[in-house]
Structure 1
Amino acid sequence: MMSPVHVIYFLSTLCFFVAHSINLHFDAPRLNNEQCPGIYPHVFSSSVPLGELKLNFVKVDTVNSPEDCVSSCCSDPSCNEAFLYEKNNTLACYKVTCKEVENCLPKADEKGNSTHVVLVRSGLSQNWETLLAQHQVLLPKKSTTCEVGLDLATCHENEVCTPVNAKSRNGKCQCKEGYTYDSNGQCTKAYINVPSSATTVASTKTPEPTRITVEISSKNITLPKNSASLTAFAIPEASNGEKYEYEWVLISNQTSGVMENGNNPTLTVKNLIQGTYRFKVVVRGKSVIGDAFGNITVFPEKRVNKPPKAIVRPTNQKIYLPINSAIIDGSESWDDVPSKLVFKWEKEIAPVQYPSLSSSEQTLELKNLILGNYSIRLTVTDSDGVSDSTNSTLLVLPQKDYPPTANAGEDIIIYLPQDNVILNGNRSTDDHGIVSWEWKRAPSDTDLAADIQDVRTPYPKISNLVKGVYTFVLKVSDVKNQVSEGTVTVYVRDPINVPPKANAGEDKQLSLPVNWITLDGSLSKDDINISSYSWTQESGPSDSKIINASAQVTNVTNLTKGVYIYKLVVIDNSKNKGEDTVKITVNQDTNSSPVANAGEDMTVNLPLSVIAVNGSKSTDDFRIAKWEWIRDENSLAAGKIIGNSTFESVLYLTDVVTGEYIFRLKVTDDQGKTSEDSISIIVQDNPHKKEILQLILNENLDALTSSLLDRILERIKLSIVRGDDTTMKIELISLFPQLDSNFVVMHFLMKKQDKKGKEIILKGVDVLKTLQTKLRTDPDILELKVINLDTLVCQNNCSGHGKCHQATRTCICQPFWIENFVRRQLMDGKSNCEWSIIYVGIFLSILTTIITCGLVFIMCKNKKIPGKLTMKRRYTKLGQHDQDMELRSPYTSSLMESETDSDEEILFENAANGSVLGNGGTLTNRNVSAHT
C-alpha cells in the first residue's frame, strides 16, 4: 500500500514528464491514500493490456493530460487501469474494466505504438506486485547496490547512485530524472517518470517502514541432482542486536518439491523435477522491509547418445516393365531421439540415363525407372552427428510376354429343325491381348455340310447344319505371333420329344363320413409314351394317405373337412415332365364321433427319466379339439405329469416307481362328441439293480463341479481296474442330494468287455469289496471324504433265516431265529440270523446242567468223609478286633491235611450253641473263622 506522499509524488512527476513530451502543461492533483490506494508506482510504456478485446474500454473525452486520465480512473470504483494512447501530439485516455484482473496485466505492444498502461486497482487481496510476479511480467529492474560518489564504477548508463538514507553512503543505482527502465532493463527517455523513492514528509500517522534492498542469486541445476539452495542478502545488513525475519514463498505453479528452512536467509529445496521454480522472499526488520525474487531452474538429465540404425524395407526387390515405379521405406530406422533423425537417400548404382536423386523423407518413391540394376543407399544421422547407412537393391527387368490361351467355348447340343449356332471364343486370354482370331473345321468332320461366316472374329456364325457331330478349331495369336488352339464340338440331334401334358382330372367334392376319393390321371397325354406318374399332396387341413402314389388312377383316404390340393407329375421316355393339380373339397353334412387311440400297452424298466404316452393316432372326421389324460383309480399314485401334457396329445410322466400305471385318453371334437381309450404301463425294476452302488460324499451337491465329478469317477474306475484292462468303464446312473444334509449321493455301476467283446456288468458286491479295501488303505483316494458306500439294494441273505431291511441294512430274523451277537460285536460286524432259539435253549440248558453238576461235585468233595480219623481242634471266638486276623493251626502233623488235598478245612460253628453244621446246613447268624 502506497502512502499519500508516494501517490502525490508519482502523479506530480508523471504530469511533469508528460507535459514536456507532448507540450501539455498541468498542475498535479492532490491525490490522497483513500482516493487511489492500490495504484502501482510504475508506467508500462509501449504496452497494452493482456486481455485486449476481452476488456471493457471506456473513453474519457474531457482529459487534457495524463494526470487527468489517471485521476479519472482513480475516482471510478469500476476502473482497474488507465490506458493512454498518444498519436500526433494528441492524447487519448481510456478507463479499463477487467472481469478477470489477470487480463489487465501489461504486455508489449507488438505494433510499437506510443501506448502506456497504469495499474490503478486490482480489486483483489493481492497487490499488483504479487500478480505481476506470479505471471512473470517484466518488472522494473531491481536496483544495483552502489556507493555514493562512485556512480561510474557500479551504475550503468543514465543511472545514478541514490543513497538509502540521508546519512548513509550506501545506495542503489536508479535511472536519472526523465528516464525509466525499458523492456531490456536499460534506462531510456521516459514518457512518464516514476521516482524510485519519495521524500518522507511529516505525518501524524505511524511512518511507513523503510524499504531495503534484497538480492538473490538464481541457481541452475541438472538432473539427477534434485536439490538446491537460494540465499537472500539484505542491504544494509541488520544492525547490532537486530535480526531480520525471512519468509520464502513459492510463486510458480510447480507442485513437486520440498522446502526447508523457509524462515532462514538460505532456503533449501529438495525433490525437484525438471522446470523453473520461482521464489519470493520477504525480509522484515524493526522498521524496514524488502523483498526479492529468485529462480531455481532444473534442466533435464544429460542424454547418453545411442547411435542410430538405418533400416530399409525391402532390402531387395524385382519389378517388370511396364511397371516403372518402386517404394523403399526407411521409417523403421531407429534412434533414441527419433524426432531429430535426419534421412538422406543417395543413388550408388543405377543406369547412366537415370537422373540423380536426393531426398530427406523417411520413404523414398522411385519413378520413371528404366531397365537395369539399382542400388540405393539410406544414411540416417542423429542430433549428435552420428550416422548409419544401409543399401536397398532394385532390379528392373523387361516385360514378360506369355503365349495366349485359346478357349473355343463349351460344347453345344442343338436339335433339328434348328440348324444354326454362334460360337463364342471371347474367353481366350493373353497377357498383352489377342491380335488375331481364326476359326476352321477339324479335318475329321469335313464330310458334313456347314456354312461358316465371320471366321476372323471371336463370334463365327455356323449355319445349314445337318445331323451329326461337328468339331471347330479356334486359333489365336498375340503381338509376338505366339499362337494357341482350342476346339469346340457341336452335336446336331433329331427333333426333341414334346413334353407330356398332365391332366389330374376335374375338381371334386365329397361329404363326410365318406373320407376317400379317387384321383384319375388317365387323361394325361404324350406324343410317344408316359413312363411314370407321381401323385403328391400339396396342401390340406390334414395329412391324407395316397394308396398308390405312382399309379395312373389311385385312391386317397383319411380325408377331413376342408380343401385338399393334389399334384400329378407325369414323365415320358425322354425324361420330359408335365404336371397338373386337382382340388378336392370335403364337406361335413353329419358329424361322426372321434376315435381315441392311447397307444399299445407298454412295459418299461427303471431307471428312466420320463415316459411318453402318445395318443396322436386318435382320429376324427374333421379334427380333435380337446385332449385329456385321466389317471385310473387303480393306477399307482406315484409319478409326476410334466407341464400341461395332461391336455395334449402326448402325455409325459416322470418320477415313476415299479408297478402298473393306467391312464385313460379322452378326445373331444368341435361338436362335443367324445371317445375314450386306456393304456397300461408296467414299470419294472432295474434288472441290474443289485449291481448298482450308492456312494455318499461329504460335499454339498451345489458345490460339486463337473471337473471334480469326472475326477471322482475316474478314480473309482482306476480303483477297480486290474492290470492293463482298458475296457473297464463306469456308468453314472443318477446324481442327487441327500434329503437331510444336501450331501452328494451318486448311483453307479461298473462295466467291462469279456474276451468276446461283449459288455458285461460287474457284480455290485465284488466292486463294493474292492472299493472298501482301497478306502481302508487310502481314505482320501476319492479327494472327498466318503460318508457311506454300499450296494443300492441290501444283499445280505441274513444267514438264510431272515430278510434284510433296506433302510437300516439290518436283518429281520424269522421266528425261532436270532442274531449271533458274538459275530456282530466281535467279528466282522455283519447283521445275521445264525442262531436258532431252540438250539441256543438246548445249549444253555446243557451248559447250565454241566455247571450245576460241577458245583455239586465240588461241594461233595468238600464234605467230611465218615469213619475217617479227625483231629480234635480248638476253636476260640474271635473278638471284634480279631476278625481280620489270620489264624494258624499249632499242629504240624500230616494228619491235619484234607483228603481233598486242600490246604485247609474250614468248619462253621454256630455262635449261639457251638454246634457244627453238617452238609446242607445254613448259617443262622454270622460266619466265624476257624483256628487250625
Structure 2
Amino acid sequence: VALPPTSPKSSSSSSLGQSANGSTEAAPPPVAPRPRRCRRGRPPRSPRPPTPRRARRRTLPRLRELAVSAGQSVEVILPNNEVELNAFVVPAAKTGSKYLFDWHLITHPKDSSGEMEGEVQQDAELTVGLYEFEVIVDGDGARGEGYVNVTVKPEPRVNKPPVAVVSPTFQEITLPTSSTVIDGSQSSDDDKLVAWRWEEVKGPLRDEKVTGNTPILTLSRLVPGSYTFILTVTDSDGVQNSTQATLLVNKATDYKPVANAGPNQVITLPRNSVTLYGNESTDDHEPLNYEWSLSPLSKAKVVEMQGVRTPTLQLSAMQEGDYTFKLKVSDSSGQQDVALVTVIVQPENNKAPVAAAGPEKELTLPVDRTVLDGSKSSDDQKITTFHWKQSSGPDGVKIENAEGAVATVTGLQVGTYGFTLTVTDDRDLQSSDTVSVIVREGVCVCACACACARACVSTDDKGGVSITEDRLFFLQHVLNGSDHQPVLFLGNLVEGKYTFTLTVTDSKGQTSTDRGVLEVKPDVWAREEVELVLEVAVSMVTQRQRDMLLRQVGVLLGVLDSDIIVRDVGAFNERSTRLVFLVSGGPGRPPLSGHSVATGLRNKLRKQKTEFLIFKAHRVDTVICQLNCSGHGACDAFTRSCVCQPFWMENFVRTQLGDGESNCEWSVLYVTIASFMIVVAIATITWGMYNRPDRYIKHFMMLPYTDQYRTIQKKSL
C-alpha cells in the first residue's frame, strides 16, 4: 500500500518479498534512487538498532526539517507474504541532488527473519504479527523521518465441523460394580474443541439425571437399567457435533443361601446339654437371619433351647433319645435354605464307684487318734454316700463323722486296726476299701511340740498329752473343737497373718511350746465379685433352679452360663438368698469388671417390664463397695452408700429418677444459695401479684348539653 506521489515531493519505495498479486499498489515516486534487492538465501541479520533522535540532532546541528511520510498502515493476509512500502518527502529534492533513504525495522514478531538495509528489505517469509518500520531521509542539509506499521494476518481458514467420538459406544456392567467412565477425549476438530456437554437422554427413574462438561464422563451410584448418553462437542467457531453411548447396568446376582447346622452329635447321660453351631452357613450377601426349631419328628421331646435366632443354639435338659433340629437361614432378599442336624442322647453307662480309703498308717502312743481320708474315691457319675466301720482290731475305738468322706478315729490302743470305707453312687452301686492303722507303744522321751501351717504332730513317752493354742484373732472359727487336738481346723479366715502358739503337756506335767504363722493372702479377684440378693429363702432353692437362674443371668449379660463362676451361695437373711459370682473374660483373660457387670445387670433388670428371673432380685451390687462418690466422699461398705465430705450432699434427683447410684455431686453451699434464690423469687412474684393496683376499664361518653343536663348541673351546685 502506498500513498500517491505528489509533486514536487521526493519518494522512496521498499519491498518485502515478492509482489503480492495486487495486494498492495504504490504510485511511482517522482524522485527515487535505484532500489537494491537482495537474493533469497542470504542469512538474515538482526535489525540495526535505530540511533536516538536526540543523539542525531546533537551530531547534526542546524539541519532543515523534512516532512517524511511512509504511508498508512498496511495489512497483509497470508499466504500473500510481500508488501511494498513507499516514502514521500516534502519538499522534493532540488535539481541535481537527491535524498538518501535509510529504512530500519524497529519491531517485528519473534519468529520473523530478514532485515532492512538502505532502501530495500531482504527477501523473507512474513509471519503473523506486527512489523514497525522507520525511514530516515537525508540530503541538501535537511533531515526527516517517518514511520509505518505492517500487520500480517493469518490465512483465512475454512472451518470443518468437529467429530464427536465416545469410547466405548456400548458397555455392560453388573452390580455390585456401580461406577464406570465414558471417554470422549478422542473427539477431534481442525482447530480446537472448546466445550463438551454430556446429557443423559434415557435411563431409569432417579432424582437427578447425569450431566457433565468434561471430556471424560465419570458415572457412579448407578442403578440397574439401560442408559443412553449424548456427547455434544463445540469447536472454536461454535460448530457442534454429537454422538451417543449406551450403558447397560444389570442387577447383582443373588444366590440362595446355604444352611449348615453342623455335624450330628452324640452325648451320653448324665451330660444333657450341647451346643449347635450354624455359623458355617454362607451367602453371597451378608447378613443372614437364623431360626432354629425342633423338627416335627421330635415334637414329643423335652428340651430347653436358648439362642433360637442366633447362629449358636444352646440345648439343655435333654433326655434319652434322638433329637432332630431344623436350621432355617434367610438372606436380605427373602431366599431361604434349611438344614437338619441330629443329636443322639444315649443312656448313661454307669460303672461302680471306686472306694479309696487311703494309705496304711502307723501311730505311736500317746497319739491315740487319726484321720481317715476317703475323699479320693471316685465314680463316673456321683458318689452319694460314704460309710466308715471298723473291720478288725481291739474294741473301744470311736469313729467320728462315719458318714463322711473324712472321718476321725479316737481311742486307739496298741495293735493293728482295719477300717473299711463303703461308697455308694446314685445308682446304688457300691465299692469298699480297707485301710490299716498300726498303733505302737511310744518310746520314753520328753514332751515336744511342733507347729506348722497345715499340721501338727506332738509326741511324748507317756500318754495324756494336752494341747493348747493361742488365737491371736477372733474372726476365725475353730472347727470340730480341734484347738485341743493335734490337727487344728480353722474356718471363716480373712486376709491377714495369724500367729498360733501350740503347747503340749504330757502326763508328768512337762510342757513344750512352738509357734506357727499362717498368712491369708487377699483374693485377687475380690473386686470383680458381684452380689445378687434374691427374695427367696436359701432353703427353697434347688440345684435345678440355681442352674436356671445362672442361665437367665447369662442371657441378660450376653454371656454363656458356663462363663458365670459362682463363688458363694448362702443366706442373706431368713427370707433372702445371697449369690456371689464373677464373669469369666475367656481363656487366659481376667474376669470382667465387677462394677460394669453389676451396673449392666442392674440396668437390664430395671428395663424389664416383667420379672425375667425366676426369683425377684432385691439388690445387685459388687461385693466390695466401689462407688467413687463423685470424688467428694467415701463408700460405706455396710450400707453400700456414699458418706459425703463436709459441704457436699447427694444429688437426690439422680438417685431417685436416674441410675439410682449413690453420689456426692451437689455442693451444700450452691444448693443453699439456689434454694434461697428460689424462695426469694417465689416470694417476690407472690407479693407482686397480691399488691398490684386494680385497673378498671372505664366506659363513658359525652352527653349532649340539654335542658336535663342543665338541671342536673344546678342541683349539683
Same fold (TM over 0.5): no
Which protein is bigger by CA-based radius of gyration?
1
User: Relative CO higher for 1 or 2, CA cutoff 8 Å, sep ≥ 6?
Assistant: 2
TM-score range, shorter chain: 0.3 to 0.5
Question: TM-score when scaled to structure 2?
Answer: 0.33
TM-score relative to the length of structure 1: 0.26
